[in-house]
Amino acid sequence: MKDFFLKGVTLSEEEKLVVETVQDLCRKDIGPLAAEVDRDERFPWENIKKINEIGLNGLFIPEAYGGSPVSKTAWLVILRELSKACPSTAIIFATTSHCCYPIVKFGTHKQKEQIQRLSAPKWERCVLVGLDEAGRLYKRYTRAIADPIFP
């Protein structure tokens, strides 16, 4: 993990292992698909599935609720590795990771108990923010449904 930009960054041994796992995933699976994903202008389902399989979707979720939390520094290093391999995959990862933060920070105990389901490898999350014609913020509710194309 020798990198000029990481000079002075301190990660725990567990976080270093996670970063090395992500680097390996990026080198073997995510990076080789990046040009195809961009050229075909498509959603990188296979990359997101692999990210979910190794548990990266639980990095903001406390262990008590089924997550595998890392420091914000480690999360940024992981995001940087994904960005170097495939920027499209990285922005999807960053956005879906952020949907958990408000629940963890401000949610009720019942909501936090439900977040464990969101960190399961099969689930994808959606953040929907919009403005009406007058520029006022509005919200829409989304739900996850089983998809036979992406089991």
* Tokens 């993990």, residue located: 1
Bridge partners, residue 138, by sequence: 130
pLDDT of residue 12: 93
d(CA 16, CA 8) in angstroms, rounded, equals 14
Residue 137, pLDDT above cutoff 60: no
pLDDT of residue 151: 47
Nearest-Å Rg of the Cα atoms of the chain is: 16
pLDDT of residue 59: 85
pLDDT of residue 23: 96
d(CA 100, CA 62) in angstroms, rounded, equals 10
Name the 3-class secondary structure at 108.
coil
Residue 94 has which token pair?
């960053």
**Torsion angles phi and psi, residue 130, rounded to 5:** -145, 170
User: 104, 99, 82, 101: which is closest to 37 by C-alpha?
Assistant: 82
Better pLDDT: 105 or 140: 105
pLDDT in tens, 12-50: 999 999 999 999 999 999 999 999 999 999 989 899 889
What confidence category does residue 55 fall into, taking pLDDT thresholds of 50, 70 and 90? Answer: confident
pLDDT in tens, 70-129: 998 999 999 999 999 999 999 988 887 777 778 888 888 887 777 766 555 555 555 555
Query: Domain residues of the chain, as ranges?
Result: 10-139
Look at the chain and count its residues. 151
CB contact at 8 A, 104 and 62: yes
- Domain 10-139: what homologous superfamily? Acyl-CoA dehydrogenase/oxidase, N-terminal domain (1.10.540.10)
What is this structure's pTM?
0.74
pLDDT of residue 136: 60
Run of H or E residues at 46: helix 45-53
pLDDT of residue 145: 61
Q: Give one word for 63, left, alpha or beta, with left for phi > 0 and alpha for psi -120 to 50.
A: alpha
pLDDT of residue 34: 96
d(CA 118, CA 125) in angstroms, rounded, equals 7
